[in-house]
Amino acid sequence: MSLEVSKFRGVPIKLHFSLIIILVLLSWTLSSGFMPQFYPNLGVIPYWIMGVAGAIILIISIMLHELAHVFLSLKYGLGVRQVILFVFGGIADIKEETKDYKKEFKIAVAGPIASFSLALVFLFLWYLTLILGGSEAVPSGFMTNREDIEETANLVEQQQQQAGNLNEIVPMISGILLYSTVANALVGIFNLLPAFPLDGGRMLRAGLIKWNKSYDEATKIAVRTGTGISFGLMAYGFITIFTGSTLGGFWFIIIGWFIQTAAQTYLRQHEISNRLSSLYLRDIMITNFMYVNSNLTVRQVIDDYFNVYRKSEFPILNNAGSLLGSISNKQINAVAQDNVDEVKVTEIMSRINDLIVMDKNGRADEALKQIYQFNKNRIYVGYQKKSLLDNLVNSPRVVQNKEITRLSFPSISENSKPPQIKLEGIISKTDLLNIARSDNKFKDPQDKDDK
C-alpha cells in the first residue's frame, strides 16, 4: 500500500505505509539516544523536534539517492515504473535492466555519489553552525583544536546575548545537521557493500562482466556474495544483542534478512526469465480455451461458466469472433443480485485496451514481464483481422522493443469501434511460472488449467 506524493520526469514517487514505522522508530532513537548524547541538557520537546526533523531529512535524502538512479536510467533510455520509499530505504523500479556493464556501473554508483554529496553539503552547513552558533553548537566531547572556531564563536556569543537567548535553537540546528551528515555518509557507505541487489552488488556484477564473466555467471556470483554478507550482518546483529545493544542488533538482523531475501528473489526471477527467453508464445499458449459470448447476461455467465468451469476470468468475443474484453469473478460479484438478469457482460467487462494482447511470436519471458508490470494474470494472444472497414484510429498497432511483440490500443474510448482482434490463445501467469520451473518446458501445456 503506497501513496503517490510527487513525480520526477513522469516517474511516480510513492511512500509506502511502512515508512510510518521507520519515522516513529528513528525519531524515538534520535530523540532518546543520539541527540542527548551529543547535545545534553535540552528539554524533551527540543529532542523530539531534532529526532523528527532528522528522520524526515533522512527519508528525503534516500529519495534523492534513488532519484539519482532514475536520472541516469532515463538518460540511458531505460524505463522506470516508480520510486517507492519504504521501511528499508528506497527502490527505483526500473522496467528493464541494462546488460551494458558500463551503464549499469554508472547507474549503480550514482546513488552513493548523491549520498556522499549530500553528506558534504550538510557537513559544510554544520561547520558554519559551529562558526556562527557559538559554543552551544559544539557537540559534547567533540575533540578538536578549534582555536579559530572558538575565537569567532566568542564574538558571536556576545552578539547572541545582546539579541536574546538561543541556547536551545543553536544546538537543535547543529544536532540535526550533524546527524544528517553522518546518516548520508552511512547510507553511501552501506550501499557500496558488494551485496546484491545493493548498489555495490550491481557494481560488482558490472566489474565481473568487464572481467570476462557472462551476465548470468556474474549475476550468480554477485548474489552469492550478497547472501554471504547478509548472513554476516545477521550474525553481527545477534552478537550485538548479546552484548547489550538490543535495538542496534535487531536492525542488523532485519537488514541482513532483507538483503538475503531480495538477492534470492532476484536470482529466482532471473533464472525464470532465462528459462522462458527461448520460448515463443506460439509454443506454449492454450488454444483450446473457453470464452463468453458478448450477448450474455451476468446471470447466464455465472450459471454456465463461473459455476461450471471454476475459472477466475474469461475472454469475451462478439458474434464475429473478435476479442472485446474479459470478465472476471470480481466484476461479476460487484453486480447486485437484483440486476444479474438484466446486466450484460459487456457493461461491466474489462475492455480490450485494459488487457495485455501479444502476438504469438512474442517471447515468453517478455510476456511474464508484461504480467508483472501491469499487474495482470494472463496474456491474450491474437492478431489484427484485416478489414476495409478498420478505423485507423482504433486499429491496433504492433509495439516492438527488442523481443517485445505487443498489440497496443491507445485511442479506444467507450464509444469507439472495437479493434478486430482474432484471439488465438491464452497463457496465464501460473502457466508461465509452471513451465519455467518444469524440467520439461513443453510438457502438455494444453492440459494446464488457465487459473
Distance CA 79, CA 85 (A): 18
**363 grid coordinates:** 517471447
| pLDDT range class, residue 142, cuts 50, 70, 90 | low
All structural domains of the chain, each given as residue ranges with its CATH number in brackets, are 2-276 (no CATH), 281-447 (3.10.580.10)
Within its chain, how far is the Cα of 177 from the centroid?
29
Quote the pLDDT of residue 232: 93
Instruction: Give per-residue pLDDT as tens, 7-60.
Output: 888 888 888 877 888 888 889 989 988 888 888 888 899 999 999 999 999 999
CB neighbour burial string for 185-219, b if at least 16 within 10 angstroms, e if fewer: bebbebbbbbbbbbbbbbbbbbbbbeeebebeebb
Q: Which long-range contacts (CB under 8 A, 24 or more apart) does 89-97 make?
A: 89/62, 89/187, 90/62, 90/63, 90/65, 90/66, 91/66, 92/66, 92/67, 94/69, 95/369, 95/373, 96/369
DSSP code of residue 259 = H
Contact between 197 and 261 under an 8 Å Cβ cutoff? The reply is no
- Residue identified by cell 537567548 is 165
Kindly report which listed range (239-253, 292-306, 406-420) carries the lowest average pLDDT score: 406-420
pLDDT tops 70 at residue 265: yes
DSSP code of residue 442 = T
Contact between 446 and 288 under an 8 Å Cβ cutoff? The reply is yes
The average pLDDT across 287-292 equals 92
Quote the pLDDT of residue 268: 84
Instruction: Give per-residue pLDDT as tens, 214-226.
Output: 888 898 999 999 9
Distance CA 450, CA 379 (A): 11
- Residue identified by cell 527519508 is 59
Count of CB atoms situated within 10 Å of the CB of 92: 22
More confident residue, 436 or 63: 63
Contact between 42 and 65 under an 8 Å Cβ cutoff? The reply is no
- Burial category of 104 from C-beta neighbours within 10 Å (exposed 0-12, middle 13-18, buried 19 and up): buried
Check: pTM over 0.75? Answer yes or no. no
Phi, psi of 176 (to 5 degrees): -65, -45
Distance CA 410, CA 419 (A): 11
Quote the pLDDT of residue 39: 86
